[in-house]
Amino acid sequence: MTKLNPDDLPAVPDLHDAALAARLQALLDDKTKPLGSLGRLEALAQRLGLILGTEAPALREPQLVVFAADHGLAAHGVSAYPSDVTWQMVENFLAGGAAVSVLARQHALALTVVDCGVRHAFAPRPGLVDAKVAWGTADALQQPAMTDAQCAQALRHGIDLVRRLPGNALLLGEMGIGNTSAAALLMSRLTGLDIADCTGAGTGLDAAGVQRKIDVLRRVLARHAQATAPLQALAALGGLEIAAMTGAVLQAAAERRVIVVDGFITTAAVLVAARLRPHVLQRCVFAHRSGERGHALLLAHLKAEPLLDLGLRLGEGSGAALAWPLLVSACAILREMASFGAAGVARASAPAGAGA
């Protein structure tokens, strides 16, 4: 894939299966509990059954992948932190000291860090994948963030990575100083929402800093006004890690893996993937609603209902890791919880006046 061509990307067919959905609902309704009493956990269980194509879903060898890259736009002060924090945090992930490292260990999630375009030369080691396309993106105020060839290469790296990974669940994470700007730009361009509604504090900008960030991003959008198709927008506005995540999402969806979406930046990658292959969204479980300003609007645009709302805005895949036990529990309920008949438990009495 030397140039951007949607036809080169993985096919993602419709998962709609009314018969399986009905069987899953019947199984849930027959569990030893009042009807619907497990609330949204029941909807999650059904979703996981539909993704995995079975009435007894089991999640195996879950892979939490953190995609990392730097952004040329960071030179314009769109982040409260310097770009060096990107590579420093990658080292922290690999040393096991970051929030996502702790949560991955707690929940037995295999953690992989992918260097998609960090401005640093890392020593090879276990857990680190070298998929560097460039030493960060270009300054999108001056030129496209990526060339078409760079964007295509990043997409391919994401696709190839998922092909190599075991398991049937992919949890998305990311790291990149400046990447809330890239996510906001993609959100604005692909949804039509004003950039001010898509832009938040990121790593902790004050109100004046957020306004400066909005002004910069508005100029970037004007500079690339012709980049309206999903792949054009991704190359002009996005990050190398967002492009790689987009490829990973497409491949995971094609393989019918469960895709656990973390926060704002990972949701922006899913937005791009869904514009290319709409049925991607059938495979996604949205972990949480972050504190980043645009995330709630983006989730609403995708008609996504996140599992958690904890005010998180860390990224890294931390929200995906925190939500993971809910997915495990939902599958266990379907597989292991007894039916009324098997347990010898009486069902609820019919309401007075009901029946023949």
Angle (nearest 5°) at CA 155 between 267 and 258 = 50
Active site residues: 316
Count Cβ atoms below 10 Å from residue 7 Cβ, excluding itself. 5
Count Cβ atoms below 10 Å from residue 22 Cβ, excluding itself. 10
- Nearest-Å Rg of the Cα atoms of the chain is 21
CA distance 222 to 227: 10
CA atoms within a 13 Å half-sphere pointing along the CA-CB vector of 92 = 14
For tokens 């060898």, the residue is 61
Between helices 179-191 and 264-276, what is the axis angle to 10°?
40
141 with 73: CB under 8 angstroms?
yes
Count Cβ atoms below 10 Å from residue 341 Cβ, excluding itself. 10
